[in-house]
Structure 1
Amino acid sequence: MIRRSARTTLVAAACSAVLATGLAACGTVQQLSAADKVSTAFDKLGRGKSLSAKVSFDATAEQIEAFGAAAGEKIDKESATALAAVSLSVALSADKPLKDVQPSKGAADGEAPKPDASLSSSFALTGKDGASLVELRQVGERAFARADLAAFGSLFGEDPAELDAFTKDLPAALQGALKGKWVGFDTEDLKETGGPAGTGPSAVPTLAPGVEDGLVTSLKDILTHDLSFEDKGKQDGKERITVTAPARKVADDLLKAFEPLTKDIPNLGKLPKTAPSGVPDRNLALDVFLDGGALSAMTFDLAQLDAKAGTATPLPLRITFAKDAPAVQAPADAATISAEELGSAFGEFAAGFTQGLMGAGAEGSDGSDGSDGSDGSDGPGGAGAPLTDAQVKELTAGGALNEEQVRLYNKLGMSYQDIKDLAAMGS
């Protein structure tokens, strides 16, 4: 942080240089000041014992539809209405400053580290009115979940009666959980029953000496040389600073920064050497809003990523922040459910709901009735049918999923086709 007297001296010297040489040196001082404000604002988030963030589209359903039309990807009215109506909220809290939260080392050499026991978290999908649609919490070794399936389905025009058909055979506690009541379960029990027999958590990769420090240095260089900061003054009572970055150069530099890690972390070995063609070769801008020096919000116009959309059809994504938010607490009225019940029910529900959304098991697009087993009920790799080694190899070939994940999803009731569709979305 530059002291006020030193900053005044720098400004005076810079302005003198402007008069002498005609160069806009004052702009450089302004940029450093804006960058310092942003850095300090993010640092303040970690000093608190709790924080929350909410992500949502700062746009109406009509604006979202217009963006889709301009980008050449039609967004139907139901989907646009749903996207405009929901927010994703994340909350974290601990008994110490969040910057001091650290995972504990595994009991054995190479064992995966355990999360800091003091950290509690909450993830909630809510309507813009604040009503909870889906919510997950973890406090210590207990996890809690609830959902309002009828309200969630109505966003997409789903018939509540059809959604009830997916849940009618579930245990009473789970039926309640899908109607907004809390259920709780032990996360250690879920770990013990969730993975395939004979497998455990993957060993933590060991980085070569100096690699981690090199990564930190590279990231600092990217922040220093690739990003520019401009103070835009006040907007709605908040300080507005625009952060601009050349998208393709930042992507290339990030890939170079992570390249030394690929020798020690197998999954990173599949990273491209240069930015994919989809990364635009132009500057992208992010607006950061500060309130009393603290991070208040960030907005990013997704239209910048699509050359067809242009500035006439903006689609701003907004993230609002609140430090010193209420601590995440365990619900007092949660019904207990076993990991076995949860895993089994999740598999049945996920497979059924996925098939319902994708039309699996219903009349096919070619007019067939799916009686050849293509609905996944009795064909190879159908819902509940164990996958063959060849199918597992195919599902993991793209790198979106690993073998442990594939076998877990299959054990939870997802079919070969369900997992293939899931892998395609993540690739």
Structure 2
Amino acid sequence: MKYLVILCDGMSDEPVAKLDNKTPMECACKPCMDALAQKSLCGTMITVPDNLVPESSTANLAVMGYDPQIFSKGRSPLEAMSMGLDMSPEDVAFRCNVVTLSEDEPFEEKIMIDHSAGEISTKEADALIRALDQALGTDTRHFYTGISYRHCMIWSNPPAENEAIYDFSRPHDFLGQKIKDKLPHGKVGDIYRDLYLRSYEILNVHPVNLARIAAGKRPANCIWLWSAGKKPALPSYEEKFGVKGAVISAVDLIKGIGICAKMKPIHVEGATGNYLTNYAGKANAAIDAFQEGYEFVYIHLEGPDECGHQGEADHKVVAIERIDQEVLVPIKTYLDSMGEAYRILICPDHPTPVRIRTHTRAPVPFFLYDNQNEVASLVARFTEDEAKKTGICIEKGHELLGKYMFNHKEG
């Protein structure tokens, strides 16, 4: 038996005015998804418990079969693991976005323009992170380059009054708003606010940003820290589900979860973490993994989520269509040619509506296809409303893989 998950990050949405009040999933031409959904277990699932923030770390842990109430300890340590950074028990990892703030106002009156600094290239960002580490790094605090705008700061025994550092605001949650009320507060907040201000003073005049401004691009003129956490411990996939797994993603967070779960992280050249990623390369990597003997492959595609954050409904539609034709179709064709049993789960981790440009905790649509046990789901297409109409809702999303994909009593 082969098992495949295609995780379409942030794919589900709300009706969008410019799409004739349809969702991107409803607008997208995705014949393979729609056809499989008609013959699958189809419904909705809750990936983010009410008491947790709807972060991709929490939601992807749930989809991968790990109870987020137990294992969700912040995304940053997972990203650090993916980057090959060793963390001691005293270390706290922070996600360190390079962001675009408005330029004219006093610092605390500035507006969060873009949480991704125009999806800055990794090469440009590396120069900025190196400059920050040289100026702001200490014996106990260092900055590390990740991918695009997504980086990491590790601080040993950081200032953490009442663990307030674990509740820092997420920059994609207040796009277009002033940063004043979103900056760290309290006694230790002064230390972190000063770090933000000093980063702005360094980055705003850095040659990389001066060149970006001259080219009409958004500067990465400040850092923003969030989702702090300590080193996690996950049971391995083989231990938990009895299968040998591989993970394919351009995003350090997802690779980090895979590494912690003892899954093989597979690098794909040209995988960018946006809607222009190397879709075909990811499909080929999954096929190669199956041929190498891996029973379970988890493919994560960030494109729909980034389009949601940027408010780009048309691009989100394109991302969904390309996932259908360039990822799902070739892998299904390969699996069919092998003549063996397989199951495919397709779902988002959380909605990222283009209207609000951030994550929500609404239940997400899913379908689980079993080529040995096709069932009439009574859905016409794979959309949010069609999935909801089935009446099936997996209230504990982390149980879906264990109980239904792997038929595992401990799932």
Please tell me the TM-score bracket, short chain as reference: under 0.3
Give me the TM-score of the superposition, normalised by structure 2: 0.20
Question: Which one has the largest radius of gyration?
Answer: 1
Q: Which has the higher contact order (CA 8 A, sep 6+)?
A: 2
Q: TM-score, normalised by structure 1?
A: 0.19
